[in-house]
A and B are shown apart, each in its own frame.
Chain A
Amino acid sequence: MLPRVLSKKGFKGFVGALMSRNSVAGPVAKENKFVFQELDRADDLRMDYPIALMSPKKYFMPQYEALLRYKLGDAVQLEPPPAPTRPQVVLGAHPCDMASTWLLDAVFADGPGDPAYLGRRERAAVIGLDCNKPCDECAFCLDMGSLPRRDGADLFLTDLGDRYFVEILSPRGKELLDGATREAHPAASADFAARQEVEDQKAKSFRHKLPFDVKYLPEILDESYDSLIWEAIGRRCFSCGSCNIICPTCYCFDVQERVALSLKEGERMRVWDSCQLVDFAEVAGGENFRQRRADRLRHRFFRKGKYILEDFGRMGCVGCGRCDRVCVAKISSVETYNQIAGSR
C-alpha cells in the first residue's frame, strides 16, 4: 500500500477521531519523563518524546491479570476471565517498542497460544513512530537491529516537520486511517525526498555502541560463561529486579491466588516477575538453582543475548537501554557486552 502524508493539523483530527471510538494510549509527559498513558485529551499527546519510561507492553501483558476466576462452595465453578471489549490504539510506539512487541507476539503464540495476550493484541492497533535521532546515550537499538523495525505496526509515522509520512503496513492500518481522516494524501516525490533526508540524518546521528556485529553476541556470551566477569558485575547487583520490570521483552511471570474477603470466590493472577529475585529458581525441596547474584545476572544477559534468539530467531534485547537507565547499581548492558567482547 502506497504511503501517505498527513499534515500535523490533519493528524490532530485523526487522533481525535480515534479517541472518539477507541481507548487511545500514547506518550504523555509525566514529571520530567514520558509514559504511555490512555489519552484524556489529544493535546496531552507528546509525539516529540525521546523514550517512554516503560514500553507499551503493559497494554498487551498487564502487570496484574486474572487468568481465571472461580467460585468456591460445594461445587467449584470455574470461569475464564472476561475479555476486554473496548478496542485499543497504541499510538507513537518507537521501533524498539515494536521490535519487543513482535517478540512477545511470537512468545505467546507459541505452544497452545495464550488467548488473553493474543486477544488483546488482536484488538489493538499499533501506530508506530520513527526515531529521527537517538533518545539518549543509553540506547543501542542500532546495534541490536531494532532501529529499522516496523513489526506489528499497522501504521508507521515519520515526523517530517510540518507533516507525517505515513506508511500503511496492514489492511487494518489502511482501514483505520481511511476511517479516521480524509486528509491523508498520497505521498508525493517531495515527501519521499524529505523522508530520505530523515534517513540520511539518522545514519549520521545513530552510532554503534558495540565493537562487534550482534550476530556474534551468542558466541561471545557463550565464551564468557565461566568468566569471573559475571562474579565481578554480580557483586554490584542488588538483585532488585528493576531491569526486568522495565524491560519491554521480559515476559516471565508469577502466578498468584487472590481470594475475596468473603472466601467464596477468587481469581488466579498472572503477575510480572523477575529472574533477578533470589527465590526465582527455588524449588519446593528448598534447592535454589540460581542462588548466587552472579548466576542470576548472567542468566538475564544470556536470555537477552542468546536463549531467546535461539528460541524465536530474534534478539531478546532490543537495545532500548531502559535497564541501564533504571539500574541503581549503574550496571550497563552496553558496557557489559563491551567488557566481555574486550576480554576475548
Chain B
Amino acid sequence: MSVPATSTSVASTPAATPFLPKLARIVAAEQFTPKEKWFRVVPHDGRPLAHPPMSFVQVSVFGVGEAPISVCSSPTREQAFELCVRAVGSVTNAMHQLGVGDTLGIRGPFGNGFDPSAHKGKDFLFVAGGLGLAPARSLIQYVLDRRQDYGKVTILVGARTPGDLLFQGDIQEWVSRPDVQTLVTVDRPAEGWKGNVGVITTLFKKIKINPAATLAVIIGPPIMFKYAVLEALSCGIPENRCICSLERRMKCGLGWCGHCQIRGTYVCKEGPVFTYEQVKRLREGI
C-alpha cells in the first residue's frame, strides 16, 4: 500500500515556489562612486513591481547568490524600478560588474514599506545619511510626485565626503525646487566644497519644522539614527512619527530564515520600516 495522496493534517501545497525569481533586465546603470552603483531594472514580463516606498527586493546574480536590496525609486515612476548598490559582499560586487542588457533575478517586493497615502497633508522631514538615501529616495520621489497631497517637505542629506554623495542629479533638482527645502552636509570637505560641513545633526539648527504635523523619516547607519532621532525628539516630534528603516541580511524575505529577526520581530515581514516607538522596544534593533 503506497501512501495515499490526500492528507488531512497538512496545508495544501501551493503551486509556485516563492524562491523562484522573476528575470529582469538592466536598462540603465551609472557608477555613482567607486563603491556605489545605480541600476534601472525592467522585469522581463513587463509588469511593474508595484512596491510600496521603502520596501526591498531580493536580487539574484545567478552563479553568485542573492541579496536584499532597497528599491530606491517610487512606484509612481513608470514600469522600471531602481536599485543603488554598495559593493560589500559577493552579490553586490558581482552586480558592480553588470551593465545595460545584463540579467538579474528579482523576488519581491518584500517588507511592510511605508504607505504615504495614510499621511496626506502631513509635513515630511527626511534625514538620510550615506546609502540611507537610497530607501529614503523611494519615498521622497513619491511625495514630490504627489506634491499637492503633502505639506512642507524638508530633506537633509549627509555623506562622509562630497565624492560620497549619491543621487547628485536628484539632489540638485531638489535644491532647485522652491517647494522643498534641501540641505546637504559632508563630514569632511574636499577642495571646492562650498556647502555645509559637519555631521547631519548639525543641519537641524538650520531648519524650522512644525512638530505637530511632521513625520521624520530617518535612514542611515545605526550611529546616525540614534543621534538624528535625538534631534527629532528635541524638535518635539513624537516617537511614533520618527520613522526608520532597518538593515538586516534577509536570506528569504518570507519570515522563515531567521537572519533578520530582532527579538520576536522578523524585519523582512514586519519591517524594515519601524517607528522609533517600536524600535526602542526591540533593543537589538539599532
Residues of A within 8 A of B (CB): 17-18, 21-22, 67-68, 70, 72, 75-76, 78, 80, 87-89, 105, 107-116, 118-119, 121-125, 151-154, 169-172, 175-176, 178-180, 225, 251-257, 259, 263, 266, 268, 270, 273, 275, 280-287, 289-290, 295, 299, 302-303, 306-307, 310-311
A170-B7 contact, Cβ under 8 Å, with A76-B103, A302-B263: yes
The 7 A-B pairs with the shortest beta carbon distances in the complex, nearest first, are A179-B1, A252-B258, A87-B3, A109-B11, A307-B264, A21-B2, A67-B19
Closest to B14 in A: A113
Query: Assuming A115-B13, A283-B248, what are 12 further A-B pairs, CB within 8 angstroms?
Result: A78-B20, A78-B23, A80-B16, A107-B256, A113-B18, A151-B9, A257-B63, A266-B63, A270-B19, A281-B284, A284-B247, A307-B264
A111-B19 contact, Cβ under 8 Å, with A105-B11, A257-B64: no
B7 pairs with A172, CB closer than 8 A: yes
Tell me, yes or no, whether B118 is within 8 Å of chain A by CB: no
B264 pairs with A284, CB closer than 8 A: no
Enumerate chain B residues within 8 angstroms of A115, measured Cβ to Cβ: 13-17
Enumerate chain A residues within 8 angstroms of B247, measured Cβ to Cβ: 283-285, 287
Nearest CB in chain B: distance from A195 CB, A: 22
Show 15 A/B contacts (Cβ-Cβ < 8 Å), sorted by A.
Answer: A67-B17, A70-B62, A75-B103, A80-B17, A87-B2, A87-B3, A152-B10, A172-B8, A255-B66, A263-B63, A268-B66, A273-B259, A281-B261, A284-B89, A302-B264
Within residues 243 to 280 of chain B, which ones have a CB less than 8 A from any CB in chain A?
247-249, 251-252, 254-259, 261-264, 269
Tell me, yes or no, whether B222 is within 8 Å of chain A by CB: yes
A254 partner, pick from B20, B251, B284, beta carbons under 8 A: B251
Which of A17, A270, A295 neighbours the largest number of chain B CB atoms within 10 Å of its CB? Answer: A270
Residues of B within 8 A of A (CB): 1-21, 23, 60, 62-67, 86, 88-89, 92, 103, 105, 131, 221-222, 247-249, 251-252, 254-259, 261-264, 269, 283-285
The answer for the CA separation of A260 and B283 in the assembled complex, in Å, is 42
B3 partner, pick from A22, A113, A280, beta carbons under 8 A: A22
The answer for the CA separation of A227 and B92 in the assembled complex, in Å, is 39
Nearest CB in chain B: distance from A4 CB, A: 15
Nearest CB in chain B: distance from A175 CB, A: 5
**What is the number of contacts between chain A and chain B, taking CB atoms within 8 Å?**
188
B63 pairs with A122, CB closer than 8 A: no
Enumerate chain A residues within 8 angstroms of B259, measured Cβ to Cβ: 252, 254, 273, 280-281
The answer for the CA separation of A47 and B246 in the assembled complex, in Å, is 50
The answer for the CA separation of A153 and B10 in the assembled complex, in Å, is 10
Closest to B251 in A: A255
Nearest CB in chain B: distance from A260 CB, A: 9
Closest to A126 in B: B9
B10 pairs with A17, CB closer than 8 A: no
Nearest CB in chain A: distance from B6 CB, A: 6
A171 pairs with B8, CB closer than 8 A: yes
Closest to B9 in A: A152
B13 pairs with A113, CB closer than 8 A: yes
Enumerate chain B residues within 8 angstroms of A76, measured Cβ to Cβ: 23, 62, 103, 105
B23 pairs with A256, CB closer than 8 A: no
A112-B3 contact, Cβ under 8 Å, with A170-B9, A254-B251: no
Nearest CB in chain A: distance from B135 CB, A: 13
Which of B11, B222, B285 neighbours the largest number of chain A CB atoms within 10 Å of its CB? Answer: B11
The answer for the CA separation of A112 and B263 in the assembled complex, in Å, is 23
Closest to B23 in A: A76
Enumerate chain B residues within 8 angstroms of A179, measured Cβ to Cβ: 1
The answer for the CA separation of A91 and B67 in the assembled complex, in Å, is 39
Enumerate chain A residues within 8 angstroms of B86, measured Cβ to Cβ: 284-285
Majority DSSP secondary structure for residues of B touching A: loop
The answer for the CA separation of A303 and B3 in the assembled complex, in Å, is 34
Enumerate chain B residues within 8 angstroms of A290, measured Cβ to Cβ: 284
A307 pairs with B263, CB closer than 8 A: yes
Closest to A67 in B: B19
B249 pairs with A78, CB closer than 8 A: no
Closest to A251 in B: B256
Which of A72, A122, A124 neighbours the largest number of chain B CB atoms within 10 Å of its CB? Answer: A122
Closest to A173 in B: B8
The answer for the CA separation of A124 and B256 in the assembled complex, in Å, is 22
B1 pairs with A18, CB closer than 8 A: yes
Enumerate chain A residues within 8 angstroms of B23, measured Cβ to Cβ: 76, 78
B12 pairs with A122, CB closer than 8 A: yes
Closest to B66 in A: A255
Enumerate chain B residues within 8 angstroms of A78, measured Cβ to Cβ: 20-21, 23, 105
Enumerate chain B residues within 8 angstroms of A225, measured Cβ to Cβ: 283
A172 pairs with B15, CB closer than 8 A: no
Closest to A260 in B: B63
Closest to A254 in B: B251
Enumerate chain B residues within 8 angstroms of A175, measured Cβ to Cβ: 1, 4
B17 pairs with A111, CB closer than 8 A: no
Closest to A295 in B: B284
A284 pairs with B256, CB closer than 8 A: no
B258 pairs with A275, CB closer than 8 A: yes
A72-B15 contact, Cβ under 8 Å, with A105-B10, A170-B8: no
B255 pairs with A111, CB closer than 8 A: yes
Enumerate chain B residues within 8 angstroms of A280, measured Cβ to Cβ: 258-259
A123 partner, pick from B3, B88, B263, beta carbons under 8 A: B3
Which of A18, A80, A108, A111 neighbours the largest number of chain B CB atoms within 10 Å of its CB? Answer: A111
B14 partner, pick from A89, A118, A286, beta carbons under 8 A: A118
A176 pairs with B105, CB closer than 8 A: no
The answer for the CA separation of A172 and B2 in the assembled complex, in Å, is 10
